[in-house]
Amino acid sequence: MQDRARAGFALMVVIAVVLGVLIGTRNIGVKQDEGLFSVSKILDVSHDANSQGESASEMDFVDFGGEALGGGSDILDSLRLERNKTRSKNVESLETVARDSGLSEEARTAAGMQLLDLSKRTEREADAEALIKARGFKDALVFVRGDTCDVVIAGKELTKADAEQIGDIAARCLGVDLANITIIEQGDPR
């Protein structure tokens, strides 16, 4: 029975590694307070401060234009590559801890759980990206940080309806409150 448990754990670790390598981590390298403007009034996003005990931030939108960061989805490719590198390092570290027989069973189990959580988050980010692309956007990159989410969009200029769709997809796929989603527009160069 213990061999089965170890085989299951090993399979879980392998799946987490593969997903981690394919998807990457969420290191966007963009300061959240630069160039942001709120679209909560446009989208009529309201949040009941009493239900949370504090007021939540508003959904934000950033326009980086093609010239600011490079053309098309090149910047998204760079961000995706950086995310993959960072996530791979994280997975490798967690795997090392999970395999270290010198550590307590609790420490190894905790590392395995973190690998599983990383795998689940990676899958949810990939699902959100695929659904956003299915809505007709050239490219999308999603980063989840705790209870916040950044969505970088390449392609056409965003409208109110586009922002609503992107926010809805991110909220549903990632379980993030709409008020904690930042949409960053990476437009085509003109």
The CATH number assigned to the domain holding 140 equals: 1.10.287.4300
Contact indicator for 167, 59 with CB cutoff of 8 Å: yes
- DSSP alpha helix (H) spans, the chain: 2-23, 40-43, 49-52, 65-69, 74-99, 105-134, 160-174
Has residue 18 got a pLDDT over 80?
no
What is the per-residue pLDDT across 83-93, written as a single tens digit (0 to 9) for each? 989 999 999 99
pLDDT higher for 72 or 52? Answer: 72
Domain count, the chain: 1
- CA–CA distances in Å: residue 188 to residues 65, 67, 110, 124, 126: 7, 8, 43, 27, 23
- Return the pLDDT at 9: 66
Residue 183, strand partner residues: 61, 151
Q: How far apart are CA 66 and CA 79, in angstroms?
A: 15
pTM of the model: 0.60
Name the helix (H) or strand (E) containing 188.
none
Query: Which of 65, 27, 24, 41 minimizes the C-alpha distance to 150?
Result: 27
Has residue 135 got a pLDDT over 70?
yes
Q: Containing domain of residue 49, as a range?
A: 2-187
Q: How far apart are CA 166 and CA 23, in angstroms?
A: 19
Has residue 67 got a pLDDT over 90?
no
- Return the pLDDT at 182: 95
Contact indicator for 141, 129 with CB cutoff of 8 Å: yes
Q: How far apart are CA 17 and CA 95, in angstroms?
A: 8
If you compute the radius of gyration of the chain from its CA atoms, what whole number of angstroms results? 19
Has residue 159 got a pLDDT over 70?
yes
Alpha carbons within 13 A on the beta-carbon side of 73 = 14
- Any idea what the Cα angle at residue 64 is, between residues 82 and 154, rounded to 5°? 65
**Mean pLDDT of the 105-122 span:** 93
